[in-house]
Structure 1
Amino acid sequence: MDYEVDRKTQWIADELQTLQESGLFNQIPVIESAMGGRIRIGGKELINFCANDYLGLANHPRLQQAARDAIEKYGIGPGAVRSIAGTNVLHQQLEERLASFKGADACITFQSGFTANLATIPALVGRGDVIFSDRLNHASIIDGCRLSRATIVAYEHNDVDDLQEKIRQTTEYGRRLIVTDGVFSMDGDIAPLPAIYEVANEHGIMLMVDDAHGEGVLGRNGRGIVDHFDLHGKIDVEIGTMSKAFGVVGGIVAGKRVIIDWLRQRGRPFLFSSAMTIPDTAACLEAVDLLESSGELVQALWANAKLMKAEMQKMGFDIGHSETPIIPLMLGDVKLARQFSKELLENGVFAMAIGYPTVPEGKARVRVMNTAAHSQADLEEALGTFQLVGRKLGVID
């Protein structure tokens, strides 16, 4: 691609050229339909394995109707930040319902899960403090840790013994925080949260878990990782999102009331950025209603994931060590992963290649995201396509 540049911006054009030549330039597809198990891109219908819409709620008629009803009653925008313009009754209701759903003392919502991390970590620790962070934590956790200006001590992925050792070695600190993802989005494995809690409790360290990919997936009717491990009242802070399994958008922080009240006073994205829109908030409320009333969608998600995993392993694919509906199709080479994704697209399946810097170099993959929105026919057709492409590219026999 040719860019108009001057001396100030030539370096950017050079970097973009390098990305293009290395196969790392990110081309974002344009979706021409509603989100679902099947979508339309470039006029072509595709089976969709890219969305984090685990339960198929992004286009659910009940959520659509709730959003329409809320617009009729309350309009669309919140007007300004909640601490200045006041908070709409729907925001208050959503936070109360989410706290009850997750079995937490209290809850506060943000514009996204990313901003929830950016708000929470710097509000809890700062310069002179220490954060013990899993080496594979999400970028939003990493950025929140950097913003806090606390000392960041990375421990090896899901390695509780290494966490213990890093705590033993770190003797200078003010406050301390352990932070981990609940479900790791690129590999699909689950943090050993009970063991991490025991370490945090032993040393008197605050514990925070980001459950973005556990919401709607783990626990009773999708209540998340804290419910999954029955750790209610033991985890200080649980971060979540409503942009994945809830099918809408927004961030959640649930936990001890003293922390939630503190975030209302010192969580910068809460204080300096407008809240979720009215229809988004209403749709999230409806999603909570759906999950509270039935676990059917969660069960369908896991049934689809179990089928896909079993059949892909039979074909000879390396699908890593996922414990969740996320399937990392491990390919190693980023160019191979991108070619695999391209071949899938040409044969009616949308599953994106993931490479560096999202995953380490040499660990490129095609990430397959199962949802409850996929029918049996979708899965059977997709499995045939994965086998066809895998054989064509020499990935399987």
Structure 2
Amino acid sequence: MMPPQNPPTSPDVLKRRLEARLARQREDGLWRERLTMTPNPRAPLRDFASNDYLGLARDPRVAEAQAEGARCEGAGAGASHLVNGHRPAHHALEERLAELTGRPRALLFSTGYMANLGVLQTLCDQDTRVFQDRLNHASLIDGARLSGAPSRRFHHRDVGDLDRLMSRAPKDQAKLVVSDGVFSMDGDTADVEGLAATCQRHGAWLMIDDAHGVGVLGERGAGLVGRQYSTSQVPVLVGTLGKAFGSFGAFVAGDDLLIDALTQFARPYIYTTAQPPGVARATQRALDISEQEPERRERLQAHITRFRQAADTLGLPLMDSPTPIQPLLLSDNQRVMRWSRGLREAGFLVGAIRHPTVPRGTARLRIVLNAEHRWRDIEALLDTLAELQYREAQVS
């Protein structure tokens, strides 16, 4: 009797595909590394990479509010908002965010990514035409794709190009225009007034993701949009809480119609556990500090002005940005990584940004200023950047 033979082994196609993709990632100089940031009092890295614009993420008052919330209400919400996870802290925070942005209501989401997916999935389908700025955040691009809506991308900050594209769309088709408020990798800002006027001319809604503007820009930190533009001009306003406010989560602000629709239909809202109530309390404390200490925004703006003036004197290739995001355009991936290593050796942490986060040929160092930076540290960063530029010039 013949022994049973093992069946032929099928090729592991997924394994081979992943191995090939990872190999290409290394070869192209695009390998991403995750740093474990632990305090080192003997050799601290001066942080010019995070989005903690007002310096609230490590503020002891914010941390204590989160701890007190956990002591009173537990470490987690335990369920989604629509089951039994919606707590008084969440409700109070939504009311604060609506008041800050001058909107009738606001709705909390667990992350900014989920907020954008939820809005686009709720508002859009195959019968909706979406128009997006070419440099929009990945979550906005992904949200439109997942909604199944046909999308067109207009030239960056080019309202004329948007107008041309919208003129070609059927007049009776639902239309949504989507843009970052502050563009996260370039630091420049959307022409909200021009976008709003174009939308009204074509009967479209406008959605602004003001993740990097809320807390930093506008009166009381209301953001690029805030109370300056009404819900009729900007019906959909998205903001995050893990940047200027130093905590975690996101929100969508708008009128009753929008918030009711998101509550009923936004899958990333319905099918996700609510954020811990302690986090909501921490955000409320951060909002208090942001309102009571406007000097934080004033100090941050002074840092931006002085930094740009000094960088211009040194001949550093800064991009045009009026916000805390100050990109240094180096173009080449290898050059960006050399400068990044040089900065880290000198004690500075700065983001090295490459494709696909930014278009090919536009690799840059993403320098981020915050209100807690001391000028002597910013000056030391500038000196190091000037030294790196000098060494490079000597070699070439």
Measure the CA separation in 1 of the matches of 2:256 and 2:12: 53
Contact 2:100 2:226 (8 Å CA) reproduced: no
How far does residue 44 in structure 1 lie from its aligned partner after superposition? Answer: 3.1
Match of 2:262 in 1: 263
- One-letter identity of the residue aligned with 1:174: Q
Residue ranges of structure 2 left out of the alignment (5+ in a row):
1-10
Contact 1:128 1:173 (8 Å CA) reproduced: no
- One-letter identity of the residue aligned with 2:28: S
Q: 2:19 aligns with which of 1, 13, 17?
A: 13
RMSD: 1.8
Match of 2:63 in 1: 64
How far does residue 395 in structure 1 lie from its aligned partner after superposition? Answer: 9.4
Tell me the SS of whatever aligns to 2:119. helix
Measure the CA separation in 2 of the matches of 1:7 and 1:190: 44
Q: 1:23 aligns with which of 26, 29, 35?
A: 29
| Length-normalised TM-score, structure 1 | 0.93
Contact 2:186 2:325 (8 Å CA) reproduced: yes
Measure the CA separation in 2 of the matches of 1:361 and 1:395: 27
Measure the CA separation in 2 of the matches of 1:73 and 1:67: 10
Measure the CA separation in 2 of the matches of 1:52 and 1:125: 30
How far does residue 323 in structure 1 lie from its aligned partner after superposition? Answer: 2.1
Task: Map residues 38-117 of structure 1 onto 2, 5 A cutoff.
Answer: 40=40, 44-117=43-116
| Distance change in 2, residues 1:396/1:277 (3 Å) | farther
- One-letter identity of the residue aligned with 1:280: V
Tell me the SS of whatever aligns to 1:207. strand
Contact 1:340 1:393 (8 Å CA) reproduced: no
| Distance change in 2, residues 1:377/1:173 (3 Å) | same
Contact 1:349 1:385 (8 Å CA) reproduced: no
How far does residue 258 in structure 1 lie from its aligned partner after superposition? Answer: 1.2
Q: Find runs of 4+ consecutive structure 1 residues off by over 4 angstroms.
A: none
| Distance change in 2, residues 1:395/1:182 (3 Å) | farther
How far does residue 7 in structure 1 lie from its aligned partner after superposition? Answer: 4.2
- One-letter identity of the residue aligned with 2:339: F
How far does residue 227 in structure 1 lie from its aligned partner after superposition? Answer: 3.0
Match of 2:278 in 1: 279
How far does residue 254 in structure 1 lie from its aligned partner after superposition? Answer: 0.6
Contact 2:355 2:363 (8 Å CA) reproduced: yes
Q: 2:229 aligns with which of 228, 231, 237?
A: 231
- One-letter identity of the residue aligned with 1:384: D
Identity across aligned pairs (percent)? Answer: 36
Figure out how many residues of one structure are paired with residues of the other and give that number. 385
Measure the CA separation in 1 of the matches of 2:325 and 2:124: 32
Contact 2:318 2:329 (8 Å CA) reproduced: yes
Measure the CA separation in 1 of the matches of 2:13 and 2:82: 44
How far does residue 221 in structure 1 lie from its aligned partner after superposition? Answer: 2.3
Tell me the SS of whatever aligns to 1:54. coil
Q: What does the per-residue CA deviation read over 1:304-349, in whole Å, with 9 as the maximum and x for residues that have no partner?
A: 1111111111111111111212111000101100111011101111
How far does residue 206 in structure 1 lie from its aligned partner after superposition? Answer: 0.8
Task: Map residues 65-214 of structure 1 onto 2, 5 A cutoff.
Answer: 65-171=64-170, 174-214=173-213
Measure the CA separation in 1 of the matches of 2:82 and 2:173: 30
How far does residue 46 in structure 1 lie from its aligned partner after superposition? Answer: 1.2
How far does residue 232 in structure 1 lie from its aligned partner after superposition? Answer: 2.7
Measure the CA separation in 1 of the matches of 2:347 and 2:291: 35
Answer yes or no: is 1:363 the counterpart of 2:369: no
How far does residue 65 in structure 1 lie from its aligned partner after superposition? Answer: 1.1
Contact 1:79 1:274 (8 Å CA) reproduced: yes
Name which of structure 1's ranges 254-263 and 53-62 shifts more when overlaid on structure 2: 254-263
Contact 1:101 1:292 (8 Å CA) reproduced: no
Measure the CA separation in 1 of the matches of 2:369 and 2:395: 21
Measure the CA separation in 1 of the matches of 2:393 and 2:245: 38
Measure the CA separation in 2 of the matches of 1:113 and 1:178: 18
How far does residue 394 in structure 1 lie from its aligned partner after superposition? Answer: 2.6
Contact 2:210 2:224 (8 Å CA) reproduced: yes
Contact 2:80 2:270 (8 Å CA) reproduced: yes
Tell me the SS of whatever aligns to 1:324. coil
How far does residue 293 in structure 1 lie from its aligned partner after superposition? Answer: 2.1
Measure the CA separation in 2 of the matches of 1:7 and 1:199: 48
Contact 1:129 1:173 (8 Å CA) reproduced: no
Measure the CA separation in 1 of the matches of 2:155 and 2:241: 29
Q: 2:38 aligns with which of 29, 32, 38?
A: 32
| Distance change in 2, residues 1:23/1:126 (3 Å) | same
| Distance change in 2, residues 1:395/1:160 (3 Å) | farther
Measure the CA separation in 2 of the matches of 1:213 and 1:86: 28
Name which of structure 1's ranges 92-101 and 14-23 shifts more when overlaid on structure 2: 14-23
| Distance change in 2, residues 1:381/1:146 (3 Å) | same
| Length-normalised TM-score, structure 2 | 0.94
Measure the CA separation in 2 of the matches of 1:176 and 1:130: 5
How far does residue 6 in structure 1 lie from its aligned partner after superposition? Answer: 4.6
Measure the CA separation in 2 of the matches of 1:349 and 1:393: 19
